[in-house]
Amino acid sequence: MAQYDVIIIGSGPGGYVCAIRCAQLGLKTAVVEGRETLGGTCLNVGCIPSKALLHASHQLHEAEHNFAKMGLKGKAPSVDWKQMLEYKTDVIGQNTKGIEFLFKKNKVDWLKGWGSIPAAGQVKVGDEVHEAKHIIIASGSESANVPGAEVEIDEKVIVTSTGALELSKIPSSMVVVGGGVIGLELGSVYARLGAEVTVIEYLDGITPGQDAEVAKQFQKLLTKQGLKFITGAAVSKVEVKGGKAHIDYALRKDDSTHEMKADICLVATGRKPFTEGLGLDALGVQMTKRGQIAVDKHYKTNVDGIYAIGDVTEGPMLAHKAEDEGMAIAEILAGQAGHVNYNVIPGVIYTHPEVASVGLTEDQLKAEGRAYKVGKFSFMGNGRAKANFAADGFVKMLADKETDRILGCHVIGPMAGDLIHEVCVAMEFGAAAEDLARTCHAHPTYSEAMREAALACGDGPIHS
């Protein structure tokens, strides 16, 4: 029976980052992973492969729509779907092998197989039982089905994000159920590749929880790119007939019923914690009403020696949130003061343009009754964006009306997922919009739009 200071169940971003940090802090560490490769959903069937397809399909879009404008003449490239999937697989392999290398470098043991917790202090993998002072559950999440609907997912015609990443061919039509991040990213991929994509969303607008102004502009831009939207619609049934997906839905405004059919139906209605097989019921681990593992501010469950981080706990299901929690719990177990600032966790949608946000939205500030000011700047006023055919969108900064402290920022535009981080750093240090506005930004860069939005919180931007 092997003995460890820490055993982590799951090798996704939360699990593997936690393991490396534990090892760096001198804790004897092992990770349980049943997949043939490390990295969890994110590296194998989530964040990384989807970004590979988004990148490839965006290059096609540029070749078809913008190359000729720049004097790059010639026949538009054709799509070799098999080769594109091989490229995606190669990207996955490079990343997962990288994690394996980091485990070896940091002397983290990989316990290959699916784990369960027969008792506090014990983790069973296959026929072997390993002992640990601390057990951290980082088993992630899985795709959720459409609430209250009859849907048989076969990962061939009716697919989750996993199946959508490995379709046998590019469909001529696709219906996406759910107007959130996953559905819009993958819907964008297939729309660029030539599919007719329709998004059906239960709410009256896409990207629930996003700044309302950004969401409205985002839907307009995606519509311009060819995606179609049916909002305020409840899907009741999805089934395969004659090799095609048939989708039944009702419009909430008048209860009228409709049917659509498509080559592929992507179910992208969110994710749910994956805790099956861990034995949590028998251990008496307390769960929330939404099926998450209940933890205290130090990630501890109600059972001594058992902790949980990432998608299995409350909060946004984001890889970087899990990573930060993995770092924090490692430091706590090593006797340090691990901490995560949940007010400064950015969110990104990797379409084109990208959408990124951090902090509070206008609706949240209004609900709080807080006095605030808005600084906006359009990418139309940014020289680099105009030169790169990327001038759609804007930066919207929110600051406290009295103190000028930055409360949130919402960006739709080029490289938004990278630009948002200067605001994250500013917020982490409690900066005012004026602090950002007075910081020199290189010219010409997209980042100047962030400075201009900060200037707009004061006397006004220069280029607008």
Catalytic residue numbers, as ranges: 443
Cα angle at 51 between 348 and 39, to 5 degrees?
95
Question: How remote is the C-alpha of 201 from its chain's centroid?
Answer: 18
